[in-house]
Amino acid sequence: MPDLAELKERKGGCVWCGNSPVDHQSTYIFQSISAVISTGDYAMRNVGIYRFFIRALEDFAQILARAFVTVGEVMGLVHYGEEVEKARSYRSQVVWEEARERGIPMQQVIVGTFRMDAYRAFVNGSWRYFISLPFPPHLATTRLWFDDKHLLKEHLRKEGIPVPGSGVALTKRRARALFRELKAPLVVKPRLGSRGRHTTTNVTDEEALIQAFRSARKLCAHVSIEEELQGSVCRGTVIGGHLCGFLEATPTHIVGDGVRTIQEHIVEKNRTRPARMGEIEVSKEVEQFLERNRLSLASVPGEREVVVLTHRTGRLFGGETRELLETVHPKLKRYLEDAARALDVPIVGFDLIIENPEVDPDTQKWGIIEANTLPFIDLHYLPLKGTPSKTAKAVWDLWEKA
């Protein structure tokens, strides 16, 4: 079983980026422009000539990739790696391991000495180049709006799929207007992006709203503001139209005893944590999160009182994870599969918040908050509890129908 180091995660200097830091300036430019492009992509999604153009663009990208590596090979700059354990991400590693089990040749693209998160696999008689996840040619898609948090909610809402009330703001004035329109507490985050970077939860007043708005604006000019749902953050991965993995991740928290302070509980929890659970770090983000809940590290929570420490979930942050594919409620499973069909995408990871995924979702307030078309399918391999779901199997199964 891989340890934490093998998950290929890292920490950086920005606490708001969590364990997957990015360069703020370049990310801001890229994601701000992408928000405009995704809006146009969504508006044109049903135009026949545009769909033809996108498919032609996908084919051209594959030709360009082949040309790049061919020229690189001739110049001695490009070669290929065979060591599975040196994959750039654990997501790519589980895909590679499954390919080996099936006898599918797969190699990592190396430019000079740099190992890219780009690979090639010999399937159906030819080499196919891809970034981390191999999409069959007839299923490949470059629909940019899928990863846009605002457009996703607008689309799913029209399809009858539960999502939280939301809006998007470019200015503080618009952010304040949304604060008055929506029901607090609110969540403020960059319109595009992933891994919870620069996300602020439990926003209940305008001062906190503006602070959160400024944080989100470091990564994107367009800021998503939505009503906060209560419950665990779950990841439902749908591949080929079927739910293939369902991970429940609880927020980092402590349970009070009426005697010790939050700080003392954190020290004790870190001391007794399981080997595969990361330490709870007392960062500025944690302190501000507690402050928004009118608490501090010196507060003494009551007996059995649950105190959430951060919006970040999962074992890398001191939370817990359970794989629930075998027990997730059938109606919730159908909702997620319907959402994938509404997007018409072969592989998608839905982030949703729900209090109990094993109970009828129609009896709870829940909703899908994000979709990832290059999802981290490896999340389902290393839960602290439950039976792991081998999602890479479903990825390669798509090629059997190609």
On whether both 281 and 376 belong to a single domain, the answer is: no
Mean pLDDT by 10 residues, the chain (402 residues): 46 69 91 91 83 78 83 91 95 97 96 94 91 82 79 94 96 97 95 86 93 95 95 94 95 91 94 86 85 91 91 80 96 98 93 96 96 92 94 94 64
Same domain, yes or no: 242 and 352:
yes
Residue at which a domain ends, from 108, 131, 154: 131
Of 104, 131, 158, the one marking the end of a domain is 131
Domain count, the chain: 3
Final residue of a structural domain among 110, 131, 152: 131
Q: How many other C-beta atoms are found inside a 10 Å radius of the C-beta of residue 186?
A: 25
H or E stretch covering 81: strand 78-81
Same domain, 236 and 290: no
244 in the same domain as 101: no
Does one domain contain both 244 and 324? yes
Identify whether residues 338 and 264 lie together within a single domain: no
Sheet holding 321-323, edge to edge: 321-323, 242-249, 232-239, 347-354, 367-372
Structure-token pair, residue 56: 């032609």
Strand blocks (E) in 85-205:
106-111, 114-123, 126-131, 166-169, 186-190, 200-203
Q: What pLDDT does residue 159 have?
A: 95
Assess if residue 193 is contained within a domain.
no
Looking at the structure, do residues 286 and 358 belong to the same domain, yes or no?
Answer: no
3-state secondary structure of 10: coil
The three-state secondary structure class of 121 is strand
In a domain? residue 116: yes
- For residue 203, is it within any domain? no
C-beta separation of 367 from 229 below 8 A: yes
**CA Rg value for the chain:** 22
Residues 266, 242, single domain; the answer is no
Domain of residue 281 covers 255-308
Q: Is residue 172 part of a domain?
A: no
